[in-house]
Amino acid sequence: MLKKLMRKKTADIQLLDERMEAVKNRQIPNHVAIIMDGNGRWAKQRKMPRIAGHHEGMKTVRQITNFANAMGVKALTLYAFSTENWKRPRIEIDFLMNLPGEFLNTYLPELMEKGIKVEMIGDMDALPSHTKNAIMKAIEQTKDNKGLVLNFAMNYGSRVELVHAMKELAEEVAAGTLKVDEVNESSIGSKLMTAHLPDPDLLIRTSGEVRLSNFMLWQLAYAEFIFTDVLWPDYDEDCFLQAIEVFQKRDRRFGSLEGDQKR
């Protein structure tokens, strides 16, 4: 029985490798954004506390980050904590604020080895000092890495981001350094937290929810959306590969009549 299971596992790995090679020969999304949802439900199904689901979800972050890097994805933005998540119970918030330190302290050597660069979008000043320090340490130590950009959306809300961008532009107009006619898509995009990154090509949301939840509202204008019922702790390499395979079958016209147009 054990030998049979081992043969099946080997066959599954070989099949995954073959699919990976096939996918790499087609267009890989440069930037993938993920709304990591379902940690609490995963724990509830197993009669465990919600924080157990968040801890398991952290392992998935590592797994998907490494796989995305191996697939040639240039940037991976993960919605880790929204501006609305402060409404959750204090014990859960405290646990979530400890996760970045645990994750980054544990996996930083691996991130360095794989050339992965850590970044963050969101209001860092409002985070607890230990959370902020862990993130800043990882950003500083990985800043010269040339591989995947692992971008955490932490204490992030897209509407707040857009308000800040509008205020910056309004101040420049008021100061006379920017003309009203120069306020356009390009100038707005330049004020966003992701100004240095390409807009996401693909958005994935786990757990069966079908909404954006105030996540990258401007940047996702032309992204392909994939919603899955799989809970985040159960999301694995096969799920991610399936998402890219679906992405590659989409006809992306960006308003034109011809497919595969670059934006």
Q: Among all residues, which ones are annotated catalytic?
A: 37, 85
Question: Is residue 46 part of an annotated ligand binding site?
Answer: no
**Is residue 257 part of an annotated ligand binding site?**
no
SS3 199: coil
According to the annotation, is 39 in a ligand binding site? yes
41 known member of a binding site: yes
CA distance 241 to 201: 15
Walk across the sheet containing 224-227 and list its strands: 117-121, 149-156, 75-82, 31-35, 202-205, 224-227
Q: Report the largest interatomic distance among the alpha carbons of the chain, rounded to a whole angstrom.
A: 76
152 vs 132: CA distance, rounded Å: 12
Q: Does 84 count as an annotated binding residue?
A: yes
Q: Is 129 annotated as a binding residue?
A: no
210 phi, psi to nearest 5 deg = -125, 75
Q: Is 224 annotated as a binding residue?
A: yes
Tell me: is residue 5 an annotated ligand-binding position.
no
- The verdict on whether residue 53 carries a ligand-binding annotation is no
Q: What is the DSSP string of 8-54?
A: HHHHHHHHHHHHHHHHHTSPPPSEEEEE---HHHHHHHTT--HHHHH
Binding-site residue ranges: 37-42, 50, 54, 82-84, 86, 88, 205, 211-213, 224
Binding-site residue ranges for substrate: 38-42, 50, 54, 82-84, 86, 88, 205, 211-213
